A and B are shown apart, each in its own frame.
Chain A
Amino acid sequence: MIRSFNALLVRDLKLAARVGGSGVMGLIFFLMIVTLIPFALGPDLNLLARIGPAILWIAALLATLIGLDRLFQADQEDGSLDLLRLSHAPMEIVVLAKVIAYWLVTGLPLALAAPFLGFLVALSPEAMLAMVATLLVGTPALTFIGAVGAALTSSLRRGGLILAILVLPFMIPTLIFGVSAANAAVGGTIPFMTPFLVLMALSLIAAVVGTVGAAAALRSGE
């Protein structure tokens, strides 16, 4: 079972690194959104610093969504999904391996790039650190929630739009607590840990519900 998990994880990481993989796309998209906002708002550093965490979080959410529709669809189209069904490992392990691989090539780079993008929205050093922490803890929740939508829309040809409509409402709690934790780090009345712990809890819940849900959706597929 561990062998199957590792094999699939390695395969997906390789695919992301090859030509046409989604590896850097999410990161570039993230950068584009964050650079667009200051152009739209004008050079008001105070305003930018105040809404900076929110901008970064929305950008991260959209960047997570952008490649998510291919998560299972690519395997569905070339028949690999039929191969994945033949494993000793249950479908949940398959989903877990694919989602972790996806997070490693999208969510993790986003979190690590957050300090550099923080410059563009005039974040203070503490706020940058808080952004990294909240994105590290919060993006898994986004990926796991998105995986359920990706599994449900895997056999649809233009599933990307439906996927976004399906999963965005479920991402709102993560967004709320992610932004409020990042804001709490730079001041405010609530301590940082309160929203941060809720964010952690959301990620853990999403990991369980997302894995089981996506596996169920894939099983009933066709």
Chain B
Amino acid sequence: MQGLRLSVNNLACERGERRIFEGVSFTLKPGEALVITGRNGAGKSSLLDILAGRLHPAGGAILLDDAGERTLSECLHYVGHRDALKAALTAEENLTFARDFLGNPALKPREALDAVGLAHAARLPVAYLSAGQRRRVALARLLVAHRPLWLLDEPTSALDTASQETLRLILEGHRDSGGMIAASTHSPLFLKDAKEIRIERLVPPPSAGEGGERSEPGEGASSIEHGPSPDPRSREGHPLPNSSRVFPTWTSRKSGSGTPDPDGGEGKTGEVS
């Protein structure tokens, strides 16, 4: 587990013949955290899906050093929008299953539920829990099995402030013990020294017309900004490396997703299906 290193080179993603992003590169070393930001539909969830092995990349490579015989999917936890909990089973049964199924057991289900402040709900069927509680049970799954890399898709959605702080402590604890984290988020996670990667989609030239952003695959190119968490506002007018084009205002056929602001945290998936 020590020395495990994840490097992602020039990753590209296509969904439905449309290029969502390309040229995504980063490395993660033990103890590091990566925060993935970007507006709705930019491809944050797709990037995590590719890392989790759910989607195949359209280009680029994912390398895992010093993993021994383990594949990437055996080294990671994935907590996505769908919480992967069985509503008919109790919180404890769900975690017991995850612990036995994933291997490398760590905390006992009771202890993990205690860590997320849900010890009292251990015997309740998950169907009776609220959205935030379900999310916490799903996050407790991170603690029942040892996996070096945690992939989190908007982990703070539906969580109250106290739970967000608990989550932050859990994440920092994982980093301190040599773990790696890649999380997509709209709201700040307050992780210290986290790398940030911003997935940005270029808007096609105005001549393509309104809503033409879904046309040619090559047109939907993206650019990536690296750096330690800049103020989201400061990126307006930031020169993008692979384009000299001036950004027109984001226009889209879909209302609601049209704001260029990164704060569209309505818990919507960034996935385009």
Interface residues of A (CB under 8 A from B): 3-4, 6-8, 10-11, 14-15, 18-21, 77-80, 82-88, 222
Chain A proximity mask over B99-141: 1 for CB below 8 Å, otherwise 0: 0111100000000000000000000000000000000000001
Are A15 and B88 touching (Cβ within 8 A)? yes
Interface SS, A side = helix
> Which residue of B is nearest A76, CB measured?
B82
> Which residue of B is nearest A4, CB measured?
B101
Chain A proximity mask over B128-166: 1 for CB below 8 Å, otherwise 0: 000000000000010000010000000000000000000
Extra contacts, 6 of them, besides A78-B85, A78-B86, A222-B55 (Cβ < 8 A), are A4-B103, A14-B89, A15-B86, A18-B89, A82-B80, A83-B141
- Interface assignment of B97: CB less than 8 Å from any CB of chain A: yes
CA distance A4 to B100 in the complex (A): 6
- Interface assignment of B173: CB less than 8 Å from any CB of chain A: no
Are A222 and B54 touching (Cβ within 8 A)? yes
Interface residues of B in 55-71 (CB under 8 A from A): 55, 70
Interface residues of B in 201-248 (CB under 8 A from A): none
Query: Could you show 21 A-B contacts with beta carbons less than 8 Å apart?
Result: A3-B101, A4-B100, A4-B103, A11-B89, A14-B89, A14-B93, A21-B88, A78-B85, A79-B83, A80-B85, A82-B78, A82-B80, A82-B84, A83-B78, A86-B73, A86-B76, A86-B147, A87-B102, A87-B103, A88-B70, A88-B74
CA distance A104 to B97 in the complex (A): 19
Query: Would you give the shortest CB distance from A15 to chain B, in whole angstroms?
Result: 6
Are A20 and B52 touching (Cβ within 8 A)? no
- Interface assignment of B267: CB less than 8 Å from any CB of chain A: no
Are B97 and A7 touching (Cβ within 8 A)? yes
State whether A78 and B84 are in contact (beta carbons under 8 Å apart), knowing that A7-B101, A83-B98 are contacts in the complex.
Answer: yes
Are B102 and A86 touching (Cβ within 8 A)? yes
CA distance A222 to B15 in the complex (A): 10
State whether A79 and B82 are in contact (beta carbons under 8 Å apart), knowing that A6-B100, A21-B88 are contacts in the complex.
Answer: yes
> Which residue of A is nearest B78, CB measured?
A82
Residues of B close to A87: CB separation below 8 A: 74, 101-103
Of residues B76, B80, B97, which shows the largest number of chain A Cβ atoms within 10 Å of its Cβ?
Answer: B97
- Interface assignment of B77: CB less than 8 Å from any CB of chain A: yes
- Interface assignment of B265: CB less than 8 Å from any CB of chain A: no
State whether A79 and B80 are in contact (beta carbons under 8 Å apart), knowing that A15-B89, A20-B88, A222-B54 are contacts in the complex.
Answer: yes
Are A78 and B83 touching (Cβ within 8 A)? yes
Are B53 and A79 touching (Cβ within 8 A)? no
Are B82 and A85 touching (Cβ within 8 A)? no
Are A83 and B84 touching (Cβ within 8 A)? yes
Residues of B close to A10: CB separation below 8 A: 97
CA distance A77 to B76 in the complex (A): 21
- Interface assignment of B87: CB less than 8 Å from any CB of chain A: yes
State whether A85 and B101 are in contact (beta carbons under 8 Å apart), knowing that A15-B89, A79-B80 are contacts in the complex.
Answer: no
> Which residue of B is nearest A10, CB measured?
B97
Are A78 and B100 touching (Cβ within 8 A)? no
Q: 4 closest Cβ contacts across the A-B interface?
A: A79-B82, A7-B100, A79-B84, A18-B88
Residues of A close to B83: CB separation below 8 A: 78-79
State whether A80 and B84 are in contact (beta carbons under 8 Å apart), knowing that A8-B101, A86-B73 are contacts in the complex.
Answer: yes
Query: Would you give the shortest CB distance from A16 to chain B, in whole angstroms?
Result: 10
> Which residue of B is nearest A221, CB measured?
B54
CA distance A3 to B52 in the complex (A): 22
Are A78 and B73 touching (Cβ within 8 A)? no
Residues of A close to B80: CB separation below 8 A: 79, 82
Residues of B close to A83: CB separation below 8 A: 78, 84, 98, 101-102, 141
Complex partner residue of A86 from B55, B77, B81, CB under 8 angstroms: B77
CA distance A15 to B88 in the complex (A): 7
CA distance A77 to B82 in the complex (A): 8
> Which residue of A is nearest B125, CB measured?
A18
Complex partner residue of B82 from A8, A11, A78, CB under 8 angstroms: A78
CA distance A18 to B54 in the complex (A): 30
> Which residue of A is nearest B74, CB measured?
A88
Of residues A3, A14, A83, A85, which shows the largest number of chain B Cβ atoms within 10 Å of its Cβ?
Answer: A83
Are A85 and B86 touching (Cβ within 8 A)? no
Residues of A close to B78: CB separation below 8 A: 82-83, 86
Query: Would you give the shortest CB distance from A14 to chain B, in whole angstroms?
Result: 6
